[in-house]
Structure 1
């Protein structure tokens, strides 16, 4: 594993140390690795503001959907599970 040295302002260092004391992370390295994993996942699903506006416009123009709430929740759970697999 490679080693990297970084400099942080005191408030950021304190924040990381607080997360470690809370038991959320084992070390500062663990915290940074989690940030990198989340950033990589987010960038893989990132939309520009213009793309988001277009998605909203398309959604509004499509009218009322015919899918049931059960179908929508099942789809949301499937997407969440897929996103969790990307993070691991």
Structure 2
């Protein structure tokens, strides 16, 4: 496991200690790792929801009259505009 040294404000230190005192966690590391896990899970859920929304929008838009080559070119152009290609 990687060790890290962090500085936290007094209110956050008190909150961390209250989590340990409640016996839900056994150490500050446990609390911090749980918070990070939850943040990562939420980030992943947001990505899944964005993908789901895009798929629904795509289904609702109907069939495209573009050829596969035109679709590929449109995507490539869009990525070039965003400097992500």
The alignment's TM-score, normalised by the length of structure 2, stands at 0.53
Match of 1:79 in 2: none
Report the CA distance between 1:43 and its aligned residue: 0.1
Runs of 4+ residues over 2 Å off in structure 1: none
Size of the alignment, in residue pairs? 50
For structure 1, which runs of at least 5 residues remain unmatched after alignment? 59-88
Q: Comparing both chains, which one has the higher relative contact order based on Cα–Cα distances under 8 Å and sequence gaps of 6 or more?
A: 1
Q: Which runs of 5+ in 2 are unaligned?
A: 58-85
Query: 2: distance between equivalents of 1:9 and 1:37?
Result: 21
Aligned partner of residue 6 in structure 1, secondary structure: coil
Q: TM-score, normalised by structure 1?
A: 0.52
State the structure with more CA Rg: 2
